[in-house]
Structure 1
Amino acid sequence: MSGNRVVVYQGPGEVSVETIDYPKLELPDDVATGLGIKKAAPHAAILKLVATNICGSDQHMVRGRTTAPVGQTLGHEITGEVVELGDDVLFAKEGDICSVPFNIACGRCRMCDEGKTGICLNVNPARAGAAYGYVDMGGWIGGQAEYVMVPYADFNLLRFPDRDQALEKILDLTMLSDIFPTGYHGAYTAGVTTGSTVYVAGAGPVGLAAAHAAQLLGASVVVVGDMLPDRLAQARSFGCETVDLSQSGELADKLAEVLGEPEVDAAVDAVGFEARGHGQGADEAPATVLNDIMSVARAGASLGIPGLYVTGDPGGVDEHAKIGQVGVRLGLGWAKSHSFATGQCPVKQYNRKLMNLILNEKAQIAKAVNATTIPLDGAADGYREFDQGAAKKYVIDPHATIGG
């Protein structure tokens, strides 16, 4: 192969599709040099992308709200066909169609042994944890591309058992790389169970995935809050209640109108650090959602926080926000004995079980998030429309596999 086309960040609001070298079975220079390990990766596989998605986390970079440099390759939601294997890969086979967790993990360190694959110690010299195509995450090439290299393939690849069935359900299965496990992790760590009442802040794809996951976990009522009418309508399309945060008024009062009481059993922050205050034209206020969910979650509740918070935000509203320091009412959470679950979702804890739900018609995640297919050359338009609040989850189809 002579090259590999991949989506590249070109500065705030701009992406392009560029041709780079075809992947090699080698670790990134940052990883090999920084950790003092061999660059050769006989444990790796190369995948031909079947589907790769635009994520809200990517959008933070493209908005210029991270320290991502121009030239950063993008994409960490990867589903593909194995086309090349290193000599040390024992169990994956060429032709397998697989989901790839967005967290890159070695399968050999203490964190991986404990199932905490989002904070693997051997894939990023800068900090615990790594991801494809993301700033400060180890220098791994992004997966919004034609081809991608996956290290530690026997550990990281989730093989779909039947190729034809996988292709038939690919719009659902492509969500296993990130947002379905991430949304499920948010709901699960919030303690959602049979009969729970649940509030999910944010009706973007992760919020919708969390809402669908809460339904699967047995919630009696799931209420989704957002400011965009189309996204609220999407939440209602699969049985959620909604509250419109573009209208003035206290969140507790809005919930009381739906539930008959001003609090919920479990709450999820699926918005993150670019949160805004309530009401028309509200300014950015990054602690809004964290404070909201503490205010409406009952005493003793758990709070799931899959929404992204960063340590470097050039566009932060003040000097504190620029380093990820936000005005959380921790005293309120302490007084109510809340517990908080944050950080990257450890995808491997959930993806196989969620795959089984999809394959056995128990989960309809593509419908919940309104999966919409676009070509690789349509990535710039997809990012632009997503940034404008489209109630869609954009699925890039680099090889025109999905339709045909």
Structure 2
Amino acid sequence: MDTAEARRSPVLLLAVWALTRLVLLLFVLKVWTFPGPDVTSDVSVIYQGWYDTLRSGSFPHDDVTWQYPPAGALAILSPALLPFLDYAHAFAVLACLADLAVLCLLRYAGTRPGRTPRGAWVWVVGVALLGPTVYARYDVMVTAVAVAALLAGLRRPRVLGALVGLGALLKVWPVLLLAGVARRRVWLSAAATAGSLALLFALTAPGAFAFLTAQRDRGTEVESLGALVFHVARHFGWEGRVLLNYGSVEFLGPHVDLVSSGALFLSVIGFGWLLLWRVSAGRLPARALTDAAFVAVLLFTVTSRVISPQYLVWLVGLAAVCLCFRDSRMTLPGHLVLGACLATVLEFPVFFANVVASDGLGITLLLVRNGLLVLATVTAALQLWRGTVSQPLPTVPPQATRSQETLSSS
């Protein structure tokens, strides 16, 4: 890349980000109307209701839709930082700032030796494809913490642990970033951070851990992989129902518990594979550690009984981190996730009524979206195995091992 092109690249990246995010904000702020159901009601109704409860010093433990670890309260309370705006507008602005923070982290990471700015482009394109839902959920804030953890942790392992501990208390899934980490001090840093915050919340606010039992009676969410069974079964006389349950639209009725148990079994199988991979792989380069985090979250997502649209924000962020490495093996899975983002915005919110009705269009969109996620998961897992087990790292002299320290040996 010549000097002129190097100068143009960040300018073009920022221009595309600014234009696409302006469009998202215009939709979220309802200057323009996005097709389908209103995606901002979670913020203006549910989040704001939690905000009022949290400000009183208690968690909304009597509300079954509160299903988040205690640090999630920090995201819900964050609009208080902008008291000159109403709650919904302040939340959208903060979500946009979190989006910008991820872009800056990825762009900076892309300038390091052996890196590339394509990770930043994956983030810009992926979030734009997902539409206004990104700014109407707090997942973009959690993803910012996860991206910062992986990028900072490449050189500062204890920072990785601390940020993972924080992320786990924001929304649990960031603990999966440790899938490829072997060093004890990273795990200790994560445990110390999570434990300290958990104790603080437990001592200062009632109901901090009510979320642990809040999902006990959930059904199978209509966008999940398992839900495809019932979408098809409805055309053959299945007698279940589609209802708003625990904050999402779910299938309830005969055999739902069986399919939900099947999803849990697949999760166990997936994490069993991760364990087998970890004991089979040797010393890992930094690239493989980010790849492992991506694979772990993919496995969690596709086997979950809930695949909400905002889950794709996590995958886009982790795919972007992987693709910051010039020699990343996750190029195909990352592009498959981008394709799934486009299918996701079509199934929710644009044609969500068709999904709920289980008609031909709705089922087709879910088959495409979930099929892309499954394909991304399988190809990513295969690439991770081939790159670290089938083709292990060459033996290097002890001096090189010490001078080229990676996260797994930090």
TM-score band, normalised by the shorter chain?
Answer: under 0.3
Give the TM-score normalised by structure 1.
0.28
Greater fraction of residues in strand: 1
Greater fraction of residues in helix: 2
Give the structure with higher Rg (CA). 2
